[in-house]
């Protein structure tokens, strides 16, 4: 069964600090991995997307890594801001039929405090 597990479940950090969120997956066949940010009461918004051949991808203060051998990904947030407080969801795509089957993690709830 395809699964995506994220850790930690929740995290509190001080503004300006860095943090790293983890994602482990068992999805086959692998197509790509995405990190989404979901603010409270809003739909998820894509941060990064990585395919099998990509090891790292950055989007501003967000840097995602992918190790396809160990089936692990991380999302590193640099110099956190209060607006980074949100749920961060790891999504792994498996190509199936005419489209992609997405498996969602349960998310890491990040809170950035003063």
Partner 1 sequence: GAGVSQTPSNKVTEKGKYVELRCDPISGHTALYWYRQSLGQGPEFLIYFQGTGAADDSGLPNDRFFAVRPEGSVSTLKIQRTERGDSAVYLCASSFAGEGTLHFGNGTRLTVT
Q: Which two tokens stand for residue 38?
A: 């979901």
Q: Which two tokens stand for residue 112?
A: 């950035």
Residue 60 contacts partner 1 per CB under 8 A: no
Instruction: Report the distance separating Cα 20 and Cα 37, nearest Å.
Output: 14
Task: Count Cβ neighbours within 10 Å for each residue of 50-76 and write b for 16 or more, e otherwise.
Answer: beeeeeebeeeebbbbbebeebebbbe
Among 82, 101, 111, 113, binds partner 1 (CB under 8 A): 101
Q: Which stretch binds partner 1 (CB under 8 A): 14-22, 60-68, 78-86, 103-111?
A: 103-111
Q: Which stretch binds partner 1 (CB under 8 A): 13-21, 60-68, 75-83, 100-108?
A: 100-108
Residue 62 contacts partner 1 per CB under 8 A: no
- Write out the residues near partner 1 by the rule CB under 8 A: 4, 34, 41-46, 49, 89, 91, 96-102, 104-107, 109
């Amino acid at each position: 069964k395809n699964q995506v597990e994220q850790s930690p479940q929740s995290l509190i950090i001080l503004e300006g600090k860095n943090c790293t969120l983890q994602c482990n997956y068992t999805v086959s066949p692998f197509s790509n991995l995405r990190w989404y940010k979901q603010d409270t009461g809003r739909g998820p918004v894509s941060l990064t997307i990585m395919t099998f051949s990509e090891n790292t991808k950055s989007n501003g203060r967000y840097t995602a890594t992918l190790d396809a051998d160990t089936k692990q990904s991380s999302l590193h947030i640099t110099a956190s801001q209060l607006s980074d407080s949100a749920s961060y969801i790891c999504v792994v795509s498996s190509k199936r039929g005419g489209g992609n089957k997405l498996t969602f993690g349960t998310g890491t709830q990040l809170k950035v405090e003063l």
